[in-house]
Copies of this chain bind each other. A is one copy, B any other.
Amino acid sequence: MWRTFDAVIREGSLSSAARALGLTQPTAGRHIAELEAQLSAGALFTRSARGLHATETARALAPHAAAMAAAAAALIRTASAPANAAAGVVRISASEVVGVEVLPPILATLHAAHPGLALELLLTNTTSDLLRRDADIAVRMTQPKQQALLAKSTGRIRLGFYAHRDYLARSAPIENAADLASHALIGFDRDAASLRAINAVWPDLPGFALRTDNQLAQVAAVRAGFGIGVVQDPIARRDPALFPVLRDTFIAHLPVWVVMHEDLRSTHRMRIVFDALVKGMTAHALASEG
């Protein structure tokens, strides 16, 4: 019923909404008609031969329907196995870099120990809202302020300049920050927060040779020998072909937090995954030092 509403808003027509939900178009149409009849809010959509167009009222309802859908999805996840079993679905949210470079071995170990676990990865750089239950557990680079969240700090990760051995071999040596001006630098494109952070440490920015907001692409470019970029210390260290540049130049420390909704504490598998992430991220952060 409200799922149909949600789907119609997203899909734009009764037919495609019905397809997406595995219903038939008449059923979807009757759902919407019934809603419009019940709600004193008037019409929800203006119909046309090209589909349904949401009215202002329908747009106001959309986020609530989405919230309901998110809660329902979380409910289904939690119900995917008994609360005290080391099995079932757990949805983890993290940044792309963490999800690609850091989590895989952690999750592999975890799954080997608990083969019944089904892990879902939601990789977005926008912190997805745990309170809206888009995910069960999140790995974040900021300290969460919301109560009702169970959060654990797992150290911090140092950022450093790195470059590939091949690039360094064919380029001029780098003794101090001024030398960077003549090198191929890899940096952000439009990500305001990151640009500000870099600018604070390094005010006289010489200009990037490669700009992208996708941090995975930045790391990949460094590995490909494109030039010099900012990489998390523990990630760079794993690759023997990468060497630090201006080792003593401080850029930033990323605080790392593993966060979970309080309601999930009583579900055993959530705790298992939470603890594994805390352990794994702590080890990852520790590799920053020494």
Contact = CB atoms under 8 A, between A and B. Distances in A.
A23 interface: no
A266 B74 CA distance: 27
Interface stretch (A58-66, A99-107, A176-184): A58-66
A266 B71 contact: no
How many A residues touch the partner, as a band?
35 or more
Given A64-B133, A133-B64, A83 B59 contact: yes
Interface stretch (A36-44, A159-167, A200-208, A280-288): A36-44
A175 interface: no
A191 interface: no
Interface in A37-91: 39-42, 55-57, 59-61, 63-65, 67-68, 71-72, 74-75, 78-84, 88
Contacts of A243: none
A213 interface: no
Contacts of A239: none
Nearest to A76: B39
A150 to B, nearest CB: 13
A29 to B, nearest CB: 19
Given A82-B57, A145-B146, A67 B133 contact: yes
Contact of A266 (B2, B59, B264): B59
Interface string A246-286: 00000000000000000110110000000000000000000
Contact of A56 (B57, B79, B145, B266): B266
Nearest to A131: B131
Given A40-B81, A72-B68, A81-B40, A60 B266 contact: yes
Contacts of A131: 131-132, 146
Interface of A: 2, 39-42, 55-57, 59-61, 63-65, 67-68, 71-72, 74-75, 78-84, 88, 129, 131-133, 145-146, 148, 263-264, 266-267
6 contacts: A2-B72, A56-B82, A56-B84, A60-B83, A67-B71, A68-B68
